[in-house]
Amino acid sequence: MAQRRHRDLQLCQGGHHAHAAATLMRANVVATLMRANVVATLMRANAAATLMRANVAATLMRANVAATLMRANVAATLMRANVAATLMRANVAATLMRANAAATLMRANAAATLMRANVVATLMRANVAATLMRANAAATLMRANVAATLMRANAAATLMRANVAATLMRANVAATLMRANVAATLMRANVAATLMRANVAATLMRANLVGQLITGGDPAFNTAAASPWLDLRVVPKEAVLGELEAQAHRRFIKTHLPVDCLPYHPAAKYIYLVRDGRDMCWSLYNHHSTANDMWYSALNETPGRVGPPITRPHPDPRTYFLDWMEQDGGPHWWPFFSHVRGWWEVRSLPNVLLVHFNALRADLKREAHRIARFLGIDVPEDKWPVIMEHCSMDWMRAHAELAVPGGGIFWEHGASDFIFKGTNGRWKDTLTEQDCAAYEERALQELGPECAEWLKSGKPHDSSQFKH
C-alpha cells in the first residue's frame, strides 16, 4: 500500500515535472515566436528603411534629371542666343559688305566719270590742236589718212602735228598718258634713236651698235638695261621711265610700235630696222620656241593683256610661217606688211633712217658710219676697231647677258637662246617654191614694187631716197 502511494506520488511528481517542462517549452516557443516577431518587425523596418532610401534615391535621381534637363534647356537657350547673335553679326557684316560694295561701286563710277571727263578734255584739246595745226599749215590737209598725208607733205612739222592729232583722237586715257610721258622723256633726253625691232638678232645688233657709238666702245656697257622696250607691259611703266630719267648718257629706246602709233617729235631720231619677212619669221620662231614657262607667264598673266593668251608655237617651222603669212603676223605677233609700209612712207623725213639687216651683215662698218652720221656722233678713228669688235655676232654671243633682256632668264638655255644665228636664208631648205612665190606676191601687193624689192634684198631701186 505504501509502495503504491509512493509510486503514485512519484507519478504525480513526474506529472508535475512534465507539466513544468511543457510549460517551459511553451515559454520557449513563445520567446522564439516573440524573437521571430521582433526579427520580422526588424526586417519590415529594414525593408521600410530600404524602401525609404530607395525612394529618397529615386527622388534625388529625379531631381538630378530635372536639374540636368534644366541645365540642358539653359545650354540650348544659350546656344540659340549665340546663334541669334551670330546671325545678327553676320547680318551686320553682310550689311557692311553691301555698304562697302556700294561705296566701291560709287567710287568706281566716280573714277569712270572722271576718266570720261578726261577723255572729253583730251579730245577737246586734240580738236583745238588740230584747228591750230590746220590754221598754221602751209597747205590744207586733203585726206584723213596720216600715212598718205605724210607722203605728200614736205615739212617735218606737218608730220608731227598729224601724228599727234591722230594719236590723241585714237587713244584712250591710259595710252594717251603713256605716250605723253614717252614724248616728254624723248624731248628731255635728247634721245639718240628709237629702235624698231624687225627680229631678235637684228634688234640686238642695232641696239648694241648705237650703245657702242654713244659710249665709244665700252665693253661693259649693258645695252639691255640702257635701252628699254617701252611698250612691253611686263615691267611697270613708271619704273622704266624712272630708270630713263636717271641715265646720264644719251638715251636710246626700243619699240615695236607702227609709225602711226608712235609719238613724233623733230628733236628725236628714229631708226627703223627691217628684214625679209621669211628671215624675220624664222628668227621669231627660234625666239618663240625656246622661251620657257616664265616668259609665257609674264606675257599672259601681267595685267593689261589684249586678246587671247600666247601659246606654244607649232613644232613645224613651215606651218608656223604659213600661219604667220596667212594671218599677217598672227596669231601671236603684230601685223607685218602694214608695219613696213608705214615706215617706208615716211623714209624721206630728216630724222628717220631706214636700215636693212642685210646691209648690216654685209658691211657692218659702212652701216655703222652711216648711223653715226645720222645721229651726229663723231667717233674718233682709234675707237672704230673696238666698236666693230663689240658689235660682231661672235662678241655679242660671248657677252649675251649684256644685250639680252633680263640676262636671258626667259629662255630655256639662257641668253644664248636669244642670240641665235643672225644669218639669212635658213628658210630655203624648208619652204617650197610655191610658198616663196606666195610670200613674194603678197609682199608685192601689200608694199608695191620698190618697197617689196628693198624688203627682199636691201637694195632699193632709187637709193637717193636713203640717207648715206
**pLDDT, position 165:** 39
∠ at Cα 380 (379, 383), nearest 5°? 90
**pLDDT, position 125:** 61
Could you tell me where the DSSP H helices lie in 260-334?
277-289, 293-301, 317-326
Alpha-carbon span 121 to 118, nearest angstrom: 5
Could you tell me where the DSSP H helices lie in 137-145?
none
The answer to whether 395 and 176 are in contact (CB under 8 A) is no
Question: For cell 507519478, what's the residue?
Answer: 11
- pLDDT tens, per residue, the chain with 468 residues: 777 777 777 766 766 676 777 778 888 877 888 888 878 888 888 878 878 887 877 788 887 877 778 887 877 777 887 767 777 786 766 667 786 766 666 676 655 556 665 644 555 565 545 544 554 443 334 333 333 433 443 333 334 444 433 433 333 333 433 444 434 443 333 344 444 334 445 556 667 788 888 888 888 888 777 788 878 888 888 888 888 888 888 888 888 889 999 888 999 999 999 999 999 888 888 888 888 888 888 888 888 888 889 889 899 999 999 999 998 887 678 899 999 999 999 999 999 999 998 988 889 999 999 999 999 999 999 999 999 898 887 787 777 777 666 667 776 766 555 565 556 778 899 999 999 999 999 999 999 999 999 999 887 644 445 665
Query: Grid coordinates standing for 376?
Result: 651726229
Query: CB within 8 A of 82, min separation 6: which ones?
Result: none
Which DSSP helix (H) or strand (E) runs through 161?
helix 156-170
Domain coordinates in residue numbering, the chain: 173-465
Q: Counting Cβ atoms within 10 Å, is residue 393 exposed (0-12), middle (13-18) or buried (19+)? A: middle
Tell me, what DSSP letter sits at residue 273?
E
The answer to whether 181 and 369 are in contact (CB under 8 A) is no
Q: Torsion angle, CA of 183/185/190/195, rounded to 10 degrees?
A: -70
Alpha-carbon span 271 to 2, nearest angstrom: 183
Q: Give the Cβ contact number of residue 288 at 10 Å.
A: 19
Q: Counting Cβ atoms within 10 Å, is residue 353 exposed (0-12), middle (13-18) or buried (19+)? A: buried
The answer to whether 393 and 419 are in contact (CB under 8 A) is yes
* C-alpha count within 13 angstroms, C-beta hemisphere, residue 451: 22
State which CATH number among 3.30.70.270, 3.60.70.12, 3.40.50.300, 3.30.930.10 fits the domain covering 173-465.
3.40.50.300
* C-alpha count within 13 angstroms, C-beta hemisphere, residue 136: 12
pLDDT tens figures, 69-113? 888 787 777 788 776 777 778 676 666 778 676 666 667 665 555
